[in-house]
Amino acid sequence: MGVAFRMATLPAGTEPTAGFASLDLDPRVLTSLAALGYEEPTPIQMAAIPPLLAGRDVLAQAATGTGKTAAFALPLLHRLTPDAAPRERTAALVLVPTRELAMQVAEAFYRYGKSIGAVAVPIYGGASMETQIRSLKRGADVIIATPGRALDHIRRRTIHLASVRTVVLDEADEMLDMGFAEDLEAILAATPAEKQVALFSATLAPRIAAIAKTHLRNPELIKIDAAVVKAGRSAKVRQVAYVVSRAHKMAALGRILDVEHPTSAIVFCRTRTEVDDLTETLNARGYHAEALHGGLSQEQRDRVMKRFRAHTSELLIATDVAARGLDVSHLSHVVNYDVPTAAEAYVHRIGRTGRAGRTGVAITLAEPREHRMLKNIERVTGQMIEMASVPTVADLKARQRELAQGALREVILGGDLDAWRGIVAALADEFDLMDIAAAAAKQAWPELGAAEAEPEIPGAAAPRERPARAGAELRVTRDAKREGKAPRTAPGYAVAKLYVGAGRKAKIRPGDLVGAIANEMGMEGSAIGAIQIFDRHSIVEIPEAQADAIVRALSATTIKGKRIQVRRDRDAG
């Protein structure tokens, strides 16, 4: 690459030996992390934070879900000193491929920088330009932007980058796949020559190397290797995931536990705060849940584990750090309240159930944006995770009746009922035997009636999958090149044709169209079909189900800085 690297390679399963305090972060940042309940840095954070704090450029290879947002956010926040310049002098620019990731990163900056009062402004397509301009005028410490919308603001001169000290390219390979290469070059050219650059990518392909060679100076190369996961380690574990929004996660977990009826389970959370909140909620729901996290003394920890092993508590709510080294042999269920950040952590967690020939259950609650992390776990483990809907009130009632019937059946088969026959006989002259039995069941299982008042829990749709590729590569013929066509893989859904009123004479490229659609709609670039570019117009194949929304979105924005006519192609069909 022509660039000098100092390699820092860590396997994804590496366990940090100290907490965030060992990284010399600003005490205010540490205060925010402690309030959130974060205990120890992930491998990518341990490797990336020190060089970023030292002002070095970083080139990091790390997959989604490894904690890389905090890896660059914490050093940026650390450098926002109390006597920093006014906020119109933006200190950092973070470029991301999609609006969903822009919102996610902005939220992370807000949470991590709460003690500092840091202001992070997300800028992305599909949102009001005027609202974004007002937010920028109020000032921002950090701007998180998708490339297309960032370039729009630069050309309008509504975003000022002269004071930017750090630029982060997050998921750089995704941005290149979406056709943002030229946009990235234009944006980087608009930032100061003397700046720190951090580039994060799932792969270090030649295109990434080319950007690094041009824009990074003597970067630290960090590679988080995925440890090998042995196949078949969880063969006796039923693995199921529920996609649910964050707002409904606690309610969904309570409903799922009511239906699953675990005899003994560990619920894994990311932070102490989640552990405490969830323990309180589940105890209020009637479970006997115990919290286990790094905030407990060894004596408290021992008492919790003693009660759990003695079956006096049925649920253990724990962080990964606190649960290390636990040897519990009787677990019927393992629950991931959040998707683990690495496939190895997932395998290690669910390996705690299904032991000694028993069948266990592994449940994962995933927010819609975490769906890709589940697919990565499936890919690494070679095992399918069943996708299920959150149980309905009808499901809950059916399960409660099933449990009650099973319990009654066991009592009947166990015999020794003479002491109770007299009670039934005394009532039999006055009441129907069926009513007597129903009254006894009502007294024993009052929750059967309470289920009627349970609210339905809305599900959340997972992001649409990338269409299956017809082949690894598609050959572009000379004729196709001459006509300006950009052949793409055949989509696995109904398509519509989009007319875009600009073509070769306006220097429109396939990447411009892919990037504009993907950015405005928050969809994968691979969902877009064939593209034909002519002298004065272009034709793009898009999913029929989203065609009208795409027309509206592109009509309200600019492509290469200009408003362009966009409509359905009248010649289609």
**Stretch 341-356: mean pLDDT, rounded?**
76
Q: What is the pLDDT of residues 188-212, one digit of tens each?
A: 999 999 999 999 988 888 888 889 9
The pLDDT value recorded for residue 51 is 95
What pLDDT is attached to residue 10?
44
What pLDDT score does 234 carry? Answer: 43
Q: What is the pLDDT at residue 486?
A: 43
Distance CA 268, CA 315 (A): 11
Q: Is the pLDDT of residue 460 over 70?
A: no
Q: Which amino acid is at 374?
A: L
> Would the pLDDT of 152 be above 80?
yes
pLDDT at residue 545 tops 60: yes
Query: In 178-294, which ranges are continuous DSSP H helix?
Result: 181-189, 206-215, 249-260, 272-284
- Strands laid side by side in the 142-145 sheet: 6-11, 220-225, 58-61, 196-201, 166-169, 92-95, 142-145, 120-123
* pLDDT at 12 > cutoff 90: no
CATH code of the region 237-391: 3.40.50.300
pLDDT greater at residue 5 or residue 394? 394
Q: Which fold has domain 6-225?
A: Rossmann fold (3.40.50)
pLDDT of residue 64: 63
Q: Which two tokens stand for residue 250?
A: 């606690």
What pLDDT, on the 0 to 100 scale, is given for residue 230? 47
> How far, in Å, CA of 503 to CA of 182, rounded?
17
Selected residue with higher pLDDT from 565 and 421:
565
Other C-beta atoms within 10 Å of 23: how many?
19
- The answer to whether residue 453 scores a pLDDT higher than 50 is yes
Residues belonging to the chain: 573
Q: What are 96-111's pLDDT values in tens digits?
A: 988 778 888 998 898 8
Superfamily name with CATH number, domain 478-568: RRM (RNA recognition motif) domain (3.30.70.330)
User: What pLDDT sits at residue 164?
Assistant: 93
Q: Is the pLDDT of residue 58 over 90?
A: yes
Structure tokens at 306: 């003693």
Claim: this prediction has a pTM higher than 0.75: no
| pLDDT class of 433 with cuts at 50, 70, 90 | confident
Angle between helices 27-36 and 68-78 (to 10 degrees): 140
Q: Which residue has the higher pLDDT, 63 or 512?
A: 512
Domain ranges of the chain: 6-225, 237-391, 394-453, 478-568
What integer is the mean pLDDT of 275-285? 89
Q: What does the pLDDT look like over 23-54, one tens digit per residue?
A: 989 888 998 888 777 778 888 899 999 999 99
pLDDT grade, residue 232 (50/70/90)? very low
Overall average pLDDT of the 542-571 stretch: 83
Confidence of residue 278 (pLDDT cuts 50, 70, 90): very high
478-568 has the same fold as 237-391 = no
pLDDT band at 472 (very low <50, low <70, confident <90, very high): very low
Q: Which two tokens stand for residue 105?
A: 């990163």
Closest residue by Cα to residue 111 from 162, 57, 69, 156: 69
Using DSSP's 3-state secondary structure scheme, residue 360 falls into strand
pLDDT interval class at 478 (50, 70, 90): very low
Higher-pLDDT residue of 302 and 484 is: 302
pLDDT surpassing 70 at residue 226: no
Instruction: Indicate the average pLDDT of the chain.
Output: 79
Question: Residues of 145-182 as b/e, b for ≥16 C-beta within 10 angstroms?
Answer: bbbbbbbbbbeeebbebeebbbbbbbbbbbbbbbbbbb
Mean predicted confidence (pLDDT) in 139-144? 92
Q: Which H helix or E strand runs over 202?
A: none
Residues of the chain above pLDDT 70, percent: 81
